[in-house]
Structure 1
């Protein structure tokens, strides 16, 4: 398996290209660069992009995922509950996306947004179980994602609590690759280090360590960062619903 990480600073976020070189298949997660960037990177590795996945509908920028998927003939992937004005390949909790010797299992982890996905990746040339998780804006290094950008704050926080409890069932050694880092408006105590493990976050991430739902909700409703400057325009971009399974 190969993995390439692309941090962005305007807007702040992280996109990923990963997959199986042996079978020549790849996926891109949360793309922000123009499509040509990922196409060139994939060509350099000798792989074809099969899936382009948004972990969620973003609030601070427009994803380039649909344009990338159209440019390379890939499937554009969102959770089935996403409300959009465009078509996508709908996945459910527990869906499997195959990339040669690499598989991606989708977990529905709502809270930051109702349609949020976490992606568990297994490389069968190494082991029959996941070794990393792309956690988007559900679990980031140092915090969990804010909960009021796509729902009311309390119901979002309660959904996020249950998503966090589920993520804590993963083994400590599982690496997490989030969708943002320090400076993003989607979290509060984010680290400048964009990579961690479930075990380290379980011990040192204040929000993730809470095991009482009401206490968790109280924490998540404190010190909410200002909304992104272009929030209304970006969210208005998503309207209607046409889903292709």
Structure 2
């Protein structure tokens, strides 16, 4: 197993490179900014980037996913539920992305956005049990992702409740590798620690531990922070072919809400 975590400050986000060292093949999850960071990381490790995956169509920053995939000769992966105007490899719930001895099972986890997916990763050289899960903006350390950026807040919260139930069913030891940390506008009480476990979040994440749907929806609809600057425009750019025009604008200021 090879795993690299990239912490970004502007915008506040987390990207990952992971895969199989023995078979020299990796994937990049939620790339942001300069694609050379990921190309160099793969080259330095002697790896080839096989997949570039966005967990969802982002509204807080421009994705570097398609650009990186093109530069690396990789497949660009989105949820099959994504409503975009360009070709991509459609990932459906239960699909398995294979990287040598490492597999990533796709979990459809809508709520933050309708097309959101998570990736449950297993290193088969160690065990057949899952090791960690990339949760994007569905489950983060200390909170869950906001629900009103693509649909109504209530509709998103209903979907998120079902997604949270699926994640809670994972073993407590499974590690959580989220798509954001403290300072992101996509959550309210995010920790500065950029990883956790299912079991720890069950005990200490107020939103994650709610068991009753109506209470969960009330909680998620309370204290919704201001939306990311130009959220609708950025999400549209990540869905279509407008990124070049928006990338010339000054980067939106990101602050903890």
Give the 5 Å matches for 1:5-16.
5-16=5-16
Q: Secondary structure at the match of 2:199?
A: helix
RMSD: 1.1
Which whole-Å deviations, capped at 9, do the CAs of 1:32-91 have from their partners, x for residues lacking one? 032111111100000100000000000011100000000011000000010112111001
TM-score w.r.t. length of structure 2: 0.92
Residue equivalent to 2:254: none
Aligned length, in residue pairs:
241
Alpha-carbon distance between aligned partners in 1 of 2:174 and 2:238, rounded to the nearest angstrom: 33
Alpha-carbon distance between aligned partners in 1 of 2:239 and 2:57, rounded to the nearest angstrom: 11
Q: Mind listing any 5+ residue stretches in structure 1 that lack a counterpart?
A: none
Alpha-carbon distance between aligned partners in 1 of 2:89 and 2:2, rounded to the nearest angstrom: 24
Give the 5 Å matches for 1:1-245.
1-238=1-238
Q: Is the 8 A contact 2:149 2:232 kept in 1?
A: no
Alpha-carbon distance between aligned partners in 2 of 1:239 and 1:102, rounded to the nearest angstrom: 29
Q: Secondary structure at the match of 1:66?
A: helix
Q: Is the 8 A contact 1:173 1:198 kept in 2?
A: yes
TM-score w.r.t. length of structure 1: 0.96
Q: CA deviation at 1:232?
A: 2.4
Which whole-Å deviations, capped at 9, do the CAs of 1:158-214 have from their partners, x for residues lacking one? 000010011000000000000001111100010000110000000000111001000
Q: Is the 8 A contact 1:83 1:238 kept in 2?
A: no
Q: Secondary structure at the match of 1:28?
A: strand
Alpha-carbon distance between aligned partners in 1 of 2:18 and 2:199, rounded to the nearest angstrom: 23
